[in-house]
């Protein structure tokens, strides 16, 4: 049995020696350790490329896609002045269509989370959020993703339906960035 925390430690050891092969092998094994990884000092020290590799992984295990968004915000906020140029790249890893439309709308308007506002009001990221709202609403309107009308609507709106992630069970509903950070 290969434990997820050990996979992360092995990833860090391989990283030290720039052993990309072992690093790539360990990423899918992190799974339920993802949020612990996000809370670590190492996470905020990752390069943009490394952060994106974890955030776009189909294997991470999360309670909700907002955890991926907030993980990206955590990395960006650690050194905003130097990292803001990577905001679009980092946020492109978030599958906004899996976030409740009500939550998506608050990303650009929640005064309790200035960290969200700073990121969500970047025009390219704002468009990602709009596309997420469209997809999320379409998903609630159509009974299943294979519905022909659903596929036509996606094409018409120019929206893609992302691959689902591993869900950790019960959904979490974070209202603010601070709430997420306390949970970590």
CA distance 135 to 140: 9
pLDDT of residue 50: 92
pLDDT of residue 164: 85
Mean pLDDT of the chain: 89
pLDDT of residue 33: 86
pLDDT band at 68 (very low <50, low <70, confident <90, very high): very high
Number of domains in the chain: 1
20-30 vs 48-55: helix axis angle to the nearest 10? 40
pLDDT of residue 2: 57
Specify which residues 167 forms β-bridges with: 62
Out of 7-16, 125-134, 161-170, the most confident range is: 125-134
Residue 106 in tokens:
């608050």
Contact in structure between 80 and 119 (CB atoms under 8 Å): no
Range of the domain at 157: 4-183
CATH number at residue 39: 1.25.40.420
Out of 27-31, 78-82, 155-159, the most confident range is: 78-82
């Amino acid at each position: 049995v290969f434990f997820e925390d050990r996979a992360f430690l092995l990833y860090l050891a391989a990283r030290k020696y720039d052993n990309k092969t072992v690093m790539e092998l360990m990423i899918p094994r992190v799974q339920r350790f993802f949020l612990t990884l996000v809370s670590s000092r190492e996470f905020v020290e990752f390069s943009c490329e490394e952060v994106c590799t974890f955030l776009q992984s189909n294997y991470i295990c999360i309670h909700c896609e907002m955890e991926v968004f907030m993980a990206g915000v955590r990395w960006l906020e650690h050194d905003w002045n130097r990292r803001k140029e990577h905001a679009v790249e980092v946020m492109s890893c978030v599958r906004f269509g899996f976030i409740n439309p009500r939550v998506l709308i608050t990303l650009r308007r929640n005064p309790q989370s200035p960290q969200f506002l700073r990121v969500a009001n970047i025009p390219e990221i704002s468009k990602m959020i709009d596309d997420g709202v469209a997809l999320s609403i379409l998903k609630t309107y159509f009974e299943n993703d294979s519905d022909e009308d659903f596929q036509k609507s996606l094409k018409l709106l120019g929206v893609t339906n992302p691959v689902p992630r591993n869900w950790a069970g019960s959904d979490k509903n974070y209202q603010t960035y601070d709430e997420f950070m306390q949970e970590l």
